[in-house]
Amino acid sequence: MNASQPSRPPLQPIQKRRAVPRPKRHLRQRSYQLMALETTAKIAVNLAISTAAISALVQLVPYQLTQQDRLREVGTEVKLMQTRVENLQSEFNRNFDPHQAQSIRQQQAYRFDPHQLPVVFVHQDGKEVEVLELLP
């Protein structure tokens, strides 16, 4: 009973599990393929956006040129209207000027003050040139 028992269990060779080597090359190739696919997709999207932008510019440039032509035409019309408005404004001011009221009435009614004498310039060939009214 009191037999001595070995203090150590008997040595048996321990079998190590062999690690199955992962196919690292396939993972690398797959990651490269995914990167290539992603880059191709990015390039395709950028080309599509660039094409859309270029087509929009091609359509907008002629429209912008016609708008510039219209703007030039409107600018010239505005200048013409400004001169016309200035002429009308000066005529309006003259017509409503109380100091010139009598001379305007004489021009419009062709009536003259009885104290004015007409002066007529005549060429030597007998044609009348100008008629002036003078006060005595």
Note the pLDDT of residue 136: 43
Report angle CA 84, 87, 89 to the nearest 5 degrees: 105
Q: Is the pLDDT of residue 12 over 70?
A: no
Q: Contact at 8 Å (CB) between 105 and 118?
A: no
Work out the pLDDT band at 89, boundaries 50, 70, 90. Answer: very high
Compute CA distances 40 → 5, 46, 52, 98, whole Å.
73, 10, 18, 86
Q: Where are the domains of the chain?
A: 25-121+130-134
Radius of gyration of the CA atoms of the chain, in A: 54
Tokens of 128: 């009348």
> 33 or 22, which is more confident?
33
Please give the share of the chain, as a percent, with pLDDT higher than 70.
Answer: 65
